[in-house]
Amino acid sequence: MWTVVYIAPNRPIADMIKELLEKEGVLVMVRPLGVPHMGPSANFEVLVPELEAKEAQEVLNQALGQ
């Protein structure tokens, strides 16, 4: 099962988060959230397998200074 670990305000930021997590060996999926016709300016969910969610959140916390 996939778990949302981040909601990005647009596709470029979602892709940046995806790349960051993949560098740490985490499997990542990105999908649009809400209205599909908004294209890259829509919000995007960044998802990881449920078993990797804690690791992904730790990576994000370190990278984003939270």
Average pLDDT of span 53-61: 96
What is the rounded distance in angstroms from the CA atom of residue 52 to the CA atom of residue 39? 28
Tell me which amino acid residue 27 is.
L
Give dist(CA 46, CA 17) in Å, integer. Answer: 8
* CA atoms of 24 and 64, how far apart (whole Å): 15
On the question of pLDDT at 43 being above 90, the answer is yes
Q: Is the pTM above the cut of 0.85?
A: yes
pLDDT, average across residues 34-52: 85
pLDDT at 36: 66
**What pLDDT score does 65 carry?**
81
